[in-house]
Amino acid sequence: MIKRFRRLPWWGKGIVGVVGAGLTVLCGFVGLSVYSQTQSNSVPHIRRWFNDRDARAELITYEACEDAPFILPTPGFIGLLWNDPAGPYTIFRRHSGIDIFGDGEPGTIPVRAVYAGYLTRQSNWVSAVIIRHDDPLQEGRIIWTYYTHMASGNGESYIPDRFPPGTENVFVKQGDIIGYQGQYNGPNIRPIGLHLHFSIVLSERDGSFKNETDASNTLDPSPYFGLTVNIDDRPERPIRCES
């Protein structure tokens, strides 16, 4: 006997369609996540940093290269690199700078200006400052260096009183302390480890800074530090100056 299957009612077709679309989207996200990890070698090193405290000393980068125009803003493990799709990023949204993870207590590891320039801290910035520079590698170009996560997880700022919210165009020398590493992640409930996020941001035609969260508005920091911090080069950790 041939069994006849009843057709789904109209509402049943709708449910099947929604479920199918959801599965398609989910599979797409999983596929992108897996693919993005093949484009980065950062995850195993980051896991080692957080899971093996005894290994931290050998992973830390303390200085930029001797002949580089920038100094390193803070000592630590350079975990996420520029243009990196690891972590919360994907092939469509890359990391706009570098994350330097510190080995210490929040609010104790200094963050320094990488180059002389003029510092701004907007009135609503709890943990971030940005510094305007004449680009040492391209005459006539203005660039900005951006520093953030410099506050406790609950929003206690680690930026010195010298730079209160609303600060504009205050001159700082290379090496001046402009804050301390923290764990502030704004309204995002996802916890983050102690670190500094640093990026080099291009300017608009009027000299103001572009949106730092868009990696296309930022520059590869490698030639400014003399260190390989571009994920496309797949550098091993720790990152060191090449002899």
Output the DSSP codes for 99-130.
Answer: EEE-SS-TT-SEEE-SSSEEEEE-TT-SS-EE
Q: What is the pLDDT of residue 30?
A: 39
Q: What is the pLDDT of residue 199?
A: 98
Mean pLDDT by 10 residues, the chain (243 residues): 55 50 39 54 95 96 96 98 83 88 98 98 98 98 98 96 98 98 86 94 97 97 98 94 74
The H or E element spanning position 54 is: none
pTM of the predicted protein model: 0.84
User: What is the distance, to the nearest Å, from the Cα of residue 191 to the centroid of all Cα atoms in its chain?
Assistant: 14
Q: What is the pLDDT of residue 12?
A: 56
Q: What is the pLDDT of residue 86?
A: 87
Residue 135, SS3? coil
